[in-house]
Amino acid sequence: MKVLSIESSCDETSASVVKIQDNVITVLSHITATSLDLHSKTGGIIPENAAREQVKYIMPVIIRALIESKNETIKTDDKENYTFAQKILKQEIDSIAVTYGPGLIGSLLVGVETAKTLSFTLNKPLIPVNHLLAHLFANFISQPNVTFPFIGLIVSGGHTDLLHFKSVSEYEWLGGTRDDAAGEALDKIGRLMNLSYPAGPEIEKRAKQEIQTKIAFKSPILNENTFDFSFSGLKAEVMRYVQNKNLSEDNKNEICFAVQKAVIDVLVKKTLAAAQQYNCPTILLGGGVSANQTLKENFKQEARSQKLEVKILSPEKVYCTDNAAMIGAYALLNTVEKPWKEVFANPNLHLQ
């Protein structure tokens, strides 16, 4: 089975062609257009700006994904590209998968309405996909040996959630953030220090240069007996710390180290505790923050030091942040097709 998948829940516009054969999920093409430059200027995403960019990108990205899935190159003639892409979609694609939530309403509408139109005009079934679950299912791309049950930790710019997955379609929500998401806290803290947007990657880079700082921030609700998280207190603590200080580059590196440690410590502790409590031999990480190398290393170190027999997996870096390939992977493993008339963008889609 082969799907065309579309993701446009936040600032990225992404399309991919993904197939499953003998239980192996393979990405045949993956194209993402980003409007990050625009958002760097404003230090965050202005939803209307993001959606306007996505209207511009959506069809070129889809056309390119279809053509590159055949290992063909884009021609200079737009009409020729469009005709070829439509032929591929008509003849070779079984279904269209699309993110229907959660996310920014304008951004979601761009992807959902495009997918619905293609579904209607080319008579292809539609598979609506929850963006958050897809972040975890990015782990199944090219990794056929991922098994159930597992504990899933979604750590992105908008979400921090712990799930206990029993089968492809059966999960229990264990806890989530009470306020800011982990990535959101990193991005807001980055803004306090004038770091690039989004700040996660720069915080990771700076933290690597500083390991001997005396600065320590509290890991929020680290010792509370709950699978919930909270990161707004950390942001407030850093805000108080940097207030009225003229920070040198070394100071910034120290703060980045301490912030990253506070975030990682609580993510690792609660996720490993969930794996123990639910007797899960596997942990899957997903979402933009799971691209963080130190997070992945700390997970493995801590599991070793607690003598836990647990496998910790994370997606390939390109599939950690928002991408359409993960939407295709989820749709191929959990193929629930819907008529186009029943699919709607839902910005507030929940996990619970």
Give, as one character, the DSSP assignment of residue 75: P
Characterize 183-205 residue by residue with b for buried, 16 or more Cβ atoms within 10 angstroms of its Cβ, and e for exposed: bbbbbbbbbbbebebbbbbbbbe
Provide the minimum distance between the beta carbon of 305 and ligand KG4 in the complex, in angstroms, as a whole number.
23
Stretch that binds ligand KG4, among 54-62, 71-79, 282-290, 338-346 (CB under 6 A): 282-290
Chain residues 88-147 in contact with Zn ion, contact rule CB under 5 A = none
Q: Which of 322, 329, 332, 349 binds ligand KG4 (CB under 6 A)?
A: 322
Provide the minimum distance between the beta carbon of 309 and ligand KG4 in the complex, in angstroms, as a whole number.
27
**Residue 53 is a binding residue for Zn ion (CB under 5 A):** no
Provide the minimum distance between the beta carbon of 287 and Zn ion in the complex, in angstroms, as a whole number.
6
Provide the minimum distance between the beta carbon of 135 and ligand KG4 in the complex, in angstroms, as a whole number.
6
Q: Which of 53, 68, 180, 322 binds Zn ion (CB under 5 A)?
A: 322
**Residue 199 is a binding residue for ligand KG4 (CB under 6 A):** yes
User: Is the CB of residue 183 less than 8 Å from the CB of residue 287?
Assistant: yes
Chain residues 105-164 in contact with ligand KG4, contact rule CB under 6 A = 156-158
User: Is the CB of residue 128 less than 8 Å from the CB of residue 334?
Assistant: no
Sheet holding 95-101, edge to edge: 24-34, 12-21, 2-7, 95-101, 126-130
Give the integer Cα–Cα distance in Å for 274 and 277: 5
Nearer to ligand KG4, 138 or 151 (CB): 138
Alpha helices in the chain (DSSP H): 36-42, 47-68, 78-92, 105-122, 131-137, 182-192, 200-208, 232-242, 249-277, 293-305, 324-333
Binding partner of 60, given ligand KG4, Zn ion, none, CB within 5-8 angstroms per partner class? none
Binding partner of 289, given Zn ion, ligand KG4, none, CB within 5-8 angstroms per partner class? ligand KG4
Binding partner of 69, given Zn ion, ligand KG4, none, CB within 5-8 angstroms per partner class? none
Give the integer Cα–Cα distance in Å for 73 and 68: 6
**Residue 234 is a binding residue for ligand KG4 (CB under 6 A):** no
Q: Which of 287, 312, 345, 349 binds ligand KG4 (CB under 6 A)?
A: 287
Binding partner of 13, given ligand KG4, Zn ion, none, CB within 5-8 angstroms per partner class? none
Contacts 24+ apart (CB under 8 A), 238-242: 238/189, 238/192, 239/192, 241/215, 241/217, 242/192, 242/193
Binding partner of 262, given ligand KG4, Zn ion, none, CB within 5-8 angstroms per partner class? none
Give the integer Cα–Cα distance in Å for 328 and 27: 9
Provide the mask over 264-303, with x wherever binding to Zn ion is found by CB under 5 A and - wherever it is not. ----------------------------------------
Nearest to 93 by CA among 72, 63, 57: 63
- List of residues 6+ apart from 194 with CB closer than 8 A: none
Provide the minimum distance between the beta carbon of 12 and ligand KG4 in the complex, in angstroms, as a whole number.
7
Chain residues 155-174 in contact with Zn ion, contact rule CB under 5 A = 156
User: Is the CB of residue 146 less than 8 Å from the CB of residue 139?
Assistant: yes
Query: Which residues here bind ligand KG4, judged by CB under 6 A?
Result: 10, 156-158, 183, 186-187, 198-201, 204, 287-289, 291-292, 321-322
Query: Which residues here bind Zn ion, judged by CB under 5 A?
Result: 156, 322
